[in-house]
Structure 1
Amino acid sequence: MVTYNDNSSAGNSSLTSLDSRSLIPATVLSICFLLGFLGNIAVMILKPNWENMSSLSQSLMLNLAVSDLLCMLTIPVWTYSYLNSWTFGVEVCKLVTYLGYCSVYGSLLTVTAMSIQRYLQVVHFERRLHEVEAWQLLVPLWLVSTILSIPVLVVRNLDDDQHWIRCKAHYSSEGQRIAMVFTGFLTGFVAVFVIAFSYISLYRKVNRAAFFNNPQTTRLIISIVGTVFVLWVPCLVMNIVEIAAVSLHNNPVMKFCEDTWNAFASVTFVNSAVNPLMYAFTSNHLFTLCQKSAKYLMEKFRILQKLPELSDITAETAQ
């Protein structure tokens, strides 16, 4: 067990560390915990307006709440460590970080799967999705999340920064650091791109049915896409900056990335806190809209297919 050395010099260092590196993420995480913990518990218990959803949609929504709740449960440990130094030992450092990464990846991949599901149902009239069992999607999803998080167990360790113990990454080489940062960047970039593409395509398709076009749908889709961009793009940009700094051996920029990473990373926890508001409690309207618009567009498509047949029949009758 690593203990915190309580002396005057350590106190001054602790105060400096608290002011410059820890206060902002600790504050953000505390707010996220209050909102996200209660919100995801409410989703799991109340299951708001899920009666109109398919079993697959309900399973994805429940899985999103579970992954977000798991993410929320790691927050008290991080908040305490930001304010009081890390006192839990290297094993807990690795475990808590691993659980945090798994939950964040699980949440992001679940939202991506939900966006693809809605896109296929509305844009491509894919009805066979109802035949897919939830475990066939959720098991690979969590398997990918656990695999992507494994490198954290290798690089995470304790660092004594002037008597202020931190749980942070220790890389054995520049190549290892670039590989791990790039993996996180690539995963996040692909997920954000797929989510944005799916909802924008869905919105365009739905708007072709004029009577479905309404401000509520517009606000909901804009809020989903906008929130994903606002909460994930800053971290993706920081990943690019860090990769460039390591590649160019720019020590000042690398130091800046290390000092500000906690603040940027804490913003991603906001995603797990606001997901209940964006998906569980409000997106039932979008699910219903998708179902109605898909039926309308499919019926319209069938009518257009029948028009040439009717023309042929009319021509034959006239002859």
Structure 2
Amino acid sequence: MTFNETSDPRDTSLFNCTISGAPLASYLQPWSILAGVVIAGSCLLGVPANFTIIAQLGRHLRGSSMTQRLFFNLALSDLLCLLCLPIGMYVFYSGTCLMDGLNRCLFYCFIFCVTTDLNILVLISIQRYYQVLHPEKWVKVDRMWQRILLFSVWMLGAFVALPAVFMTRNEARTEKTGGPICNNLGIKPELEAAYISFVVFSYLVLFSFYLLLVKGVKRTQMPNKKQPRATKIFIRIIAVYLVTGFFPVFLRTFYVVALFTGS
């Protein structure tokens, strides 16, 4: 995971890095263009949808059930993730060199949002499993403990994102046209390996409770129309997240392994 920064940390202005006098956009590969289209489409569809959910649930959040609070927190974390994507996309496509502190702040916010999103989904899978299949156990979790659980997933995301603060500078990249000198900021392979281990563990927990929930619902022989609507929605959300989130984790794991073997 890397970002570009200006060579002088005291310089707070923004620079556009060029390659042999041409903008970065002229050297984009097809995969990066496709990624930009996907990100733009996700933002255009996801931001209004999540904002609408937050506005509707926020009016009746006081005294609401755990299910409503989970929907609200999931929409909020999704919205924060989607708001971070256009900023990162602009920095990447424009080749902008940012000062050190701003780079670290943007990177930390992005990792925090993504990690919190995953943490909330893990909590959703556990909560739905116990509420649907073991309601007698879930009744024991009172409102105070529910608030503690929701607060914990956000704090865990803030803690896990800390490696972004310890990004180190790599070799400087000098521009042939006399432009600014940019450094690549990257997380140490050891810290990134620890982060990926946490993500993989979270995915395993999410997948395990997803299977238990699906099998439990089928075992109860409850007709599909009589299943709680929230349960069906959460099952679909988790299924989509498991499918779409597997490939980025796999590619990042492959990259980190290559760093270790190359060193």
Contact 2:74/2:121 (8 A) holds in 1: yes
CA distance in 1, matches of 2:205, 2:214: 14
TM-superposed deviation, 1:2: 4.2
Give the aligned residue type for 1:207.
Answer: K
Match of 1:117 in 2: 127
In 2, distance between residues paired with 1:213 and 1:5? 56
Q: Within 1, Cα distance between the matches of 2:237 and 2:115?
A: 18
Conserved 8 A contact 1:13-1:164 = no
TM-score by length of 1: 0.64
| 1:154-207 residue CA offsets vs partner (Å, 9 max, x unmatched) | 216696475698885435xxxx31x22222222222222222221221222222
Label 1:225 to 1:161 Cα distance change in 2 as closer, same or farther (>3 A).
Answer: farther
Q: Specify every segment of 5 or more residues in structure 2 that has no aligned partner in the other structure, as ranges.
A: 1-12
Which residue number in structure 2 is paired with residue 170 of structure 1? 186
Q: Which of 213-222 and 120-129 deviates more? A: 213-222
Aligned-residue offset at 1:225: 4.2
1:297 maps to what in 2?
Answer: none
TM-score when scaled to structure 2?
Answer: 0.76
SS in 2 for 1:46: helix
Partner of 2:6: none
The equivalent residue for 1:82 is 92
Q: Deviations over 1:200-246 (max 9, x none)?
A: 21222222332434698897576334312222211221233123212
Kept in 1, the 8 Å contact 2:17–2:24? The answer is no
Q: How much has 1:5 moved relative to structure 2? A: 5.0
Preserved CA contact (<8 Å) 1:207 1:213? no
CA distance in 2 between partners of 1:210 and 1:4 (Å): 61
CA contact (8 A) 1:26 1:82 kept: no
1:166-245 aligned at under 5 Å gives the runs 169-171=185-187, 176-177=188-189, 179-213=190-224, 223-245=236-258
Cα–Cα, structure 1 residues 244 and 157, in superposed 2: closer, same or farther, change >3 Å?
Answer: closer
Computing the radius of gyration from Cα coordinates, the structure with the larger value is 1
Once residues 42 and 233 of structure 1 are traced to their aligned partners in structure 2, the CA distance between those partners, rounded to angstroms, is 28
Where is the helix percentage greater, Structure 1 or Structure 2?
A: 1
- Cα distance, 1:66 vs. partner? 1.6
Which position in structure 1 is the counterpart of 2:22?
11
Structure 2 CA distance, aligned partners of 1:117 and 1:95?
Answer: 32
Q: How does 1:274-293 map to 2 (within 5 A)?
A: none
Unpaired stretches in structure 1, ≥5 consecutive residues: 251-319
Q: Percent identity?
A: 21
Measured in 1, the distance between the counterparts of 2:180 and 2:78 equals 29
Q: Is the 8 A contact 2:17 2:97 kept in 1?
A: no
Q: Using a 3 Å threshold, how does the CA distance of structure 1 residues 42 and 160 change in structure 2: closer, same or farther?
A: farther
**Cα distance in 1, alignment partners of residues 51 and 182 from structure 2:** 30
For 2:259, which of 221, 225, 246 is the aligned residue? 246
CA RMSD of aligned residues (A): 3.3
> Aligned with 1:9: secondary structure?
coil
